[in-house]
């Protein structure tokens, strides 16, 4: 059994980037098509079943201005950063992109990518924005259109058998990630929030069978380790997309433990599995309609129920609601979520920043003050 530190190291940013680049280069050399996708509303299973490699597109580690020449400065910094990465040719290896219709910023990103980055294959999935009885039916129709478009691009049909096989592979990976999160329910989890974040992020950048193998080895070691010496307030982080582990790490360096998240590069990515009964496209559609929602897709009530449930299950002391600047959808939801959580006796800190990865030093003072306050609160001081 390899030491835990060695296993965790594989998921850290530098190692992960090296491994991902190597796999992409090998795939390209074998003629494999690589498809970039932008959001956890993308049904990767269909891309995988087409024999292609899905890779999540993320922004750069530092803010970049190039994207702002095409997407206005008062639009989502994540969308602008992704576009900058495309314009700076960091995603030149992609054969195609898939973007679901979620928020306006993501839709504009799709238009700009097609116009200015240029790519052989581009597809937008029109994801339903209401949880009506017709939503699953509508998305099934969209996924059927997506499947046909991919088949045409690949020059080969996607069989029912390969779709089912892809779903099984993805379900296995999701179940293992859920097991990893289960380990964080204990008083002193054996793996930190920042490390866990990297493990989930790696699942979006590596082929699923390889990630599953790495994760299985990690879990075997974690299962045999028992609890760590972790301490500090137990925090849930929710909100806009967070692309790098630096923000979670900052909270943990301030003395807390991020034991659970409600993020799209996080628990939302794997929380729900796909059942294998009946029509497989409909089953995939059902999963993507009913997965843990982004604020840009459904009303905040479902989001609040999710936060309340996770707070209880993970024995959370406080919630940090994080938003990117100009992310109207999360800004809109936060006041009512904060009010409802505080009514449940859960303290809430709202934070906003310009860039979701890289340095967050300016937020440190506010996090420290908040942790100090909830520390006093839990000790019963005034
Ligand atoms: S924040 Fe919402 S729209 Fe943006 S990538 Fe995440 S799930 Fe998609
Ligand atoms: S929901 Fe907010 S953070 Fe996510 S992509 Fe849209 S504007 Fe950006």
**Which atom of ligand 1 is nearest the CA belonging to 330?**
1
Site to substitute for ligand 2 among 83, 104, 237, 294, most atoms within 8 A of C-beta:
294
Share of the chain above pLDDT 90, in %: 81
Q: Is the pLDDT of residue 269 over 90?
A: yes
Positive or negative: CA dihedral 330, 178, 204, 217? positive
- Mean pLDDT for 139-146 is 98
Q: Is the pLDDT of residue 355 over 80?
A: no
- Closest-lying ligand to the alpha carbon of 42? 1
Q: Is the CB of 49 under 6 A from ligand 1?
A: no
Average pLDDT, the chain: 92
Q: Is the pLDDT of residue 69 over 90?
A: no
Three-class SS string for 241-286? CCCCCHHHHHHHHCCCEEEEEECCCCHHHCCCCCCCCCCHHHHHHH
Distance from chain centroid for Cα 329: 17
Q: Is the CB of 357 under 6 A from ligand 1?
A: no
What DSSP element (H or E) covers 55?
strand 53-56
Q: Is the CB of 250 under 6 A from ligand 1?
A: no
- The rounded Å distance from CA 201 to ligand 1 centre is 14
Q: How far is CA 279 from CA 86, 164, 264, 314, in A?
A: 36, 10, 27, 35
- Closest-lying ligand to the alpha carbon of 352? 2
Do 292 and 268 form a contact (C-beta atoms < 8 A)? yes
- The rounded Å distance from CA 294 to ligand 2 centre is 9
- pLDDT tens readout for residues 76-116: 999 999 999 999 999 999 999 999 999 999 999 999 999 99
- The SS3 of residue 112 is helix
Distance, in Å, from the CA atom of 214 to the CA atom of 11, rounded to the nearest integer, reads 9
Q: Residues with Cβ within 6 A of ligand 2?
A: 76, 78-79, 103, 105-106, 240-241, 294, 296, 324, 327, 329-330
Q: Is the pLDDT of residue 34 over 60?
A: yes
- The rounded Å distance from CA 18 to ligand 1 centre is 25
Distance, in Å, from the CA atom of 86 to the CA atom of 113, rounded to the nearest integer, reads 7
Region of residue 66 (phi > 0: left; psi between -120 and 50: alpha; otherwise: beta): alpha
What DSSP element (H or E) covers 202?
helix 193-205
The Cβ of residue 132 has, within 10 Å, a number of other Cβ atoms equal to: 11
Beta bridge partner(s), residue 99:
124
Site to substitute for ligand 2 among 56, 77, 79, most atoms within 8 A of C-beta:
79
Length of the chain measured in residues: 382
Distance, in Å, from the CA atom of 128 to the CA atom of 338, rounded to the nearest integer, reads 26
- Mean pLDDT for 359-380 is 79
Q: At what angle do helices 160-182 and 208-225 cross, to 10 degrees?
A: 20
- pLDDT tens readout for residues 160-215: 999 999 999 999 999 999 999 999 999 899 999 999 999 999 999 999 999 999 99
- The rounded Å distance from CA 71 to ligand 2 centre is 13
What DSSP element (H or E) covers 343?
helix 328-343
- Closest-lying ligand to the alpha carbon of 75? 2
- The rounded Å distance from CA 21 to ligand 1 centre is 24
Do 85 and 57 form a contact (C-beta atoms < 8 A)? yes
- Closest-lying ligand to the alpha carbon of 104? 2
- In the numeric block, which tokens belong to residue 105? 């910023």
Angle in degrees, CA 117, 121, 126, rounded to 5: 100
């Amino acid at each position: 059994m390899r030491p835990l530190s060695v296993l965790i190291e594989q998921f850290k940013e530098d190692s992960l980037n090296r491994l991902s680049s190597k796999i992409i280069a090998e795939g390209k050399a074998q003629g494999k098509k690589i498809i970039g996708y932008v959001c956890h509303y993308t049904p990767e299973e269909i891309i995988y079943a087409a024999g292609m490699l899905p890779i999540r597109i993320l922004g750069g580690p530092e803010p970049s201005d190039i994207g702002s020449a095409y997407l206005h400065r008062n639009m989502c910094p994540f969308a602008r950063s992704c576009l900058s990465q495309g314009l700076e040719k960091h995603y030149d290896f992609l054969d195609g992109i898939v973007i679901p219709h979620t928020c306006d910023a993501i839709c504009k990103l799709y238009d700009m990518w097609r116009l200015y980055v240029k790519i052989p294959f581009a597809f937008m999935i029109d994801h339903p924005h209401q949880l009506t009885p017709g939503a699953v039916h509508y998305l099934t129709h969209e996924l059927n259109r997506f499947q046909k478009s991919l088949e045409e691009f690949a020059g080969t049909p996607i069989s029912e058998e390969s779709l089912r096989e892809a779903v099984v592979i993805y379900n296995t990976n999701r179940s293992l990630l859920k097991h990893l999160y289960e380990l964080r329910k204990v008083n002193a989890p054996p793996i930190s929030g920042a490390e866990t974040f990297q493990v989930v992020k790696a699942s979006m950048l590596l082929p699923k069978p390889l990630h599953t193998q790495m994760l299985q080895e990690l879990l075997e070691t974690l299962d045999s380790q028992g609890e760590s010496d972790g301490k500090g307030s137990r925090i849930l982080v929710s909100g806009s997309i967070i692309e790098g582990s630096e923000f979670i790490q900052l909270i943990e360096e301030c003395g807390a433990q991020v034991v659970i998240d409600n993020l799209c590069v996080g628990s939302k990515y794997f929380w729900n599995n796909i059942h294998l009964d009946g029509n497989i496209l409909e089953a995939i559609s059902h999963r993507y309609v009913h997965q843990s929602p982004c604020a840009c897709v459904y009303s905040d009530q479902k989001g609040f129920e999710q936060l309340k449930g996770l707070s209880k299950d993970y024995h959370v002391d406080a919630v940090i609601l994080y938003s990117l600047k100009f992310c109207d959808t999360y800004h809109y939801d936060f006041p009512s979520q904060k009010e409802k959580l505080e009514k449940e006796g859960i303290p809430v800190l709202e934070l906003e920043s310009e860039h979701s990865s890289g340095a967050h030093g300016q937020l440190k003072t506010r996090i420290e003050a908040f942790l100090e306050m909830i520390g006093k609160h839990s000790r019963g001081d005034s």
